[in-house]
């Protein structure tokens, strides 16, 4: 994990839900596609290629290119959804990603997202074996404890 490259990837479709204790943020990654992705049925076996961002706020550029990649991510691509979705592989399943949010941040984050007053990003660590692991999250580029002070 120490050699993993970390990318700040915006998320969309967030759905904060009150589950047991605290909140889970259920989301999709908002990939910044280098070119329009193919509009196909779900496909696997073709990793997502991440390259340097042109605009840091949009995160890394994503494509299905085979050259010039800073990192490759295994996952499942849903090209028939609007917008298209690429979900990194989590061991052997492709589920909508979710992130635990401490109860102290949940209600305020939910309000910010509902009002579209903040950009939430995930710090995504890409390992040498093409796995994507969530390292943390940010609101408008700040750690939650700093943003919600």
| Residue matched to tokens 């204790």 | 21
The answer to whether the CB of 19 falls within 8 A of the CB of 102 is no
Q: Which residues contact 110 (CB under 8 A, 6 or more apart)?
A: 16, 23
91: left (phi over 0), alpha (psi -120 to 50) or beta: left
57-104 tens-digit pLDDT:
789 999 998 889 999 999 888 888 888 888 888 755 567 788 888 888
Q: How confident is the model at residue 144 (pLDDT cuts 50, 70, 90)?
A: very high
Sheet strand arrangement including 5-18: 98-101, 23-29, 5-18, 120-126, 132-139
Distance between CA atoms of residues 28 and 86, nearest Å: 8
Higher pLDDT, 134 or 44: 134
6-51 tens-digit pLDDT:
999 998 865 555 433 457 787 889 999 988 888 877 777 789 999 9
Distance between CA atoms of residues 71 and 134, nearest Å: 15
113-130 tens-digit pLDDT:
878 788 899 999 999 999
| Residue matched to tokens 């796995």 | 131
């Amino acid at each position: 994990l120490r050699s993993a490259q970390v990318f700040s990837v915006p998320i969309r479709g967030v759905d904060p839900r009150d589950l047991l204790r605290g909140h889970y943020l259920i989301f999709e990654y908002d990939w910044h596609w280098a070119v329009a992705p193919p509009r196909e049925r779900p496909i696997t076996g073709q990793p997502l290629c991440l390259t340097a961002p042109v605009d840091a706020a949009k995160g890394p550029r994503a494509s299905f290119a085979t050259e010039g990649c800073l990192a490759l991510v295994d996952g499942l691509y849903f090209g028939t959804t609007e917008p298209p979705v690429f979900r990194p592989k989590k061991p052997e399943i492709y589920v909508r990603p979710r992130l635990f949010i401490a109860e102290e941040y949940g209600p305020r984050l939910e309000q910010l997202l509902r009002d579209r007053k903040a950009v939430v990003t995930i710090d995504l660590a890409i390992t040498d074996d093409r796995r994507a692991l969530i390292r943390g999250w940010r609101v408008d580029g700040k750690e939650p404890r700093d943003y919600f002070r």
